[in-house]
Chain A
């Protein structure tokens, strides 16, 4: 409702309230338009106090072209003369905008002139809504929605105005509530699996430490004691890594806005290579990095570092044995996005089978390396939190290609 007050675009409002044009069945001329008008009047005043529209000069025109005096009860809440509100250009722009939003319906005309507003009886779920559209600053706006239960049941229209208003508000609130519930349920489900995964991965190394203490006490062989101590040491490192990964994930969830800067992909990649120096030296991959199409991006530095680090280190980690590892990195420009592509000729994945699990936290899709299963979930969160998305192509035994669509921040 606040959006309406702020004068949100009709299309956006419709879409936000799940009233996309696809959902709407446009019916023919309504015989009940007149009854809906007092409510429209109220809604105009309630939801869009600055509305620049409507008064007794308007006439509702049926598809037959005959005027129907249905808008006479509407007042002009702005008290601004219509001539000041609309000129010929406005009217032409408005007509175009309205035509884009909804198909043919009943039109509100000013004494047969070009449209100033358009009114459609539409069916959404089991209710019928009278949608009034108006225009301001070349932008189509929804100024009112009137709801009644059926265009054929005239008696329902005689319900008191207060009742109708309450009903309307309740319907809108219910819809918003359903939407919020669905979002909340999705978040809860993610949180449940996240907490369980985190608890399990933190508990596992502790369990190892506990059991190994007992084991070491029983060993008489010094070599075995040493071996057990070495395992205990790696278990503590793993515990630390899981904890670090968790902290990063939680920080990411709680971060609203981090400062951005213009980042050169080549420089970021250089620092990633420096961190992975030991692995690169060990594996000796053939790396082809070409960032010439989009050499820089306005983005959060820590995120871009982490995205590139995780994708590049995964490419090294999940290489095929006996095949020289080739990693290709490049940037592309696709509409509003800078695409970072990282492809390899590694072990690949069966996407049909495991594709949906790929970005789940604590999920490992290969037995080859004992990763934490956090990296790709981090990448996904960082990318999506910043308005982007990830596409993955992979063939088992052939390799994998990640295409990360990064939405650049506006340069300050």
Chain B
């Protein structure tokens, strides 16, 4: 049986959640998706998962309530990165400002930015490719 990757989405858009769930289902992607819309709660949940089922991939939206995806990435780095270096962190957004692009260039922790909408193409070319590299490595 093919291994299912644990994907953790920090995303407060119900449209995205519906879309992602259905792409995974329709295209039978080897992904187990979990969603959280509040970035603060997401960090707390990741703490709980640390001992049991830490995600293989985390995808945080740039535009989040409370604090943005960049701040989420920073807090994630402080708390988890050194314990889980193989977990991939992506950011997602439907548009990126010049400021966002500059912030991305300065952040080596973020594997890539996924330009929405989520699609099979994005999952295959951007995310799974990274996972395969890690698995092979």
Interface string of A343-371 (1 = CB under 8 A from B): 00000000000100000000011110010
- Chain B residues near A370 (CB, 8 Å)? 12, 14
Interface string of A209-247 (1 = CB under 8 A from B): 011101100110000100110010001000000000000
Tell me the smallest distance from the CB of A215 to a CB of chain B, in Å: 6
Q: Are B117 and A207 within 8 A (Cβ)?
A: yes
User: Pick the contact of B65 from A200, A212, A235, A365 — CB < 8 Å?
Assistant: A365
Q: Are B95 and A366 within 8 A (Cβ)?
A: no
Tell me the smallest distance from the CB of B12 to a CB of chain A, in Å: 6
Total number of B residues with any Cβ neighbor in A under 8 Å: 26
Q: Are B65 and A364 within 8 A (Cβ)?
A: yes
Q: Are B66 and A365 within 8 A (Cβ)?
A: yes
The CA of A210 and the CA of B37, in the complex, are separated in Å by: 22
The CA of A203 and the CA of B117, in the complex, are separated in Å by: 10
- Chain B residues near A224 (CB, 8 Å)? 22
User: What are the nearest 9 A-B pairs in CB distance?
Assistant: A211-B117, A367-B38, A196-B97, A367-B65, A364-B65, A208-B15, A207-B94, A207-B117, A200-B95
Q: Are A235 and B95 within 8 A (Cβ)?
A: no
Q: Are A211 and B119 within 8 A (Cβ)?
A: yes
The answer to whether B26 has its CB under 8 Å from any CB of chain A is yes
Interface SS majority for chain A: helix
The answer to whether B116 has its CB under 8 Å from any CB of chain A is yes
The CA of A112 and the CA of B5, in the complex, are separated in Å by: 94
The answer to whether A392 has its CB under 8 Å from any CB of chain B is no
- Chain B residues near A211 (CB, 8 Å)? 19, 116-119
The answer to whether A174 has its CB under 8 Å from any CB of chain B is no
Total number of A residues with any Cβ neighbor in B under 8 Å: 26
Residues of B near any A CB (own CB < 8 A): 12-15, 18-19, 22-23, 26, 37-39, 41, 63-66, 93-95, 97, 99, 116-119
- Chain A residues near B26 (CB, 8 Å)? 215, 218
Interface SS majority for chain B: loop
Tell me the smallest distance from the CB of B109 to a CB of chain A, in Å: 22
User: Pick the contact of A204 from B13, B18, B118 — CB < 8 Å?
Assistant: B13
The answer to whether A199 has its CB under 8 Å from any CB of chain B is yes
- Chain A residues near B12 (CB, 8 Å)? 367, 370
Q: Are A210 and B117 within 8 A (Cβ)?
A: yes
Q: Given A208-B15, A211-B19, A212-B19 in contact, is the A203-B66 Cβ separation under 8 Å? A: no
Q: Are B19 and A203 within 8 A (Cβ)?
A: no
Q: Given A200-B94, A211-B119 in contact, is the A228-B18 Cβ separation under 8 Å? A: yes
> Apart from A211-B119, A215-B22, what are 12 other A-B pairs with CB-CB below 8 Å?
A196-B95, A200-B94, A200-B95, A200-B97, A204-B94, A208-B19, A224-B22, A365-B65, A366-B65, A367-B64, A367-B66, A370-B14
Q: Given A211-B19, A215-B22, A370-B12 in contact, is the A203-B95 Cβ separation under 8 Å? A: yes
Q: Given A203-B94, A207-B117 in contact, is the A367-B37 Cβ separation under 8 Å? A: yes
Q: Given A207-B94, A211-B118, A370-B12 in contact, is the A200-B18 Cβ separation under 8 Å? A: no
Q: Are A207 and B116 within 8 A (Cβ)?
A: yes
The CA of A235 and the CA of B37, in the complex, are separated in Å by: 18
Q: Are B38 and A208 within 8 A (Cβ)?
A: no
Tell me the smallest distance from the CB of A8 to a CB of chain B, in Å: 41
Interface string of A180-215 (1 = CB under 8 A from B): 000000000000100010011001100110111011
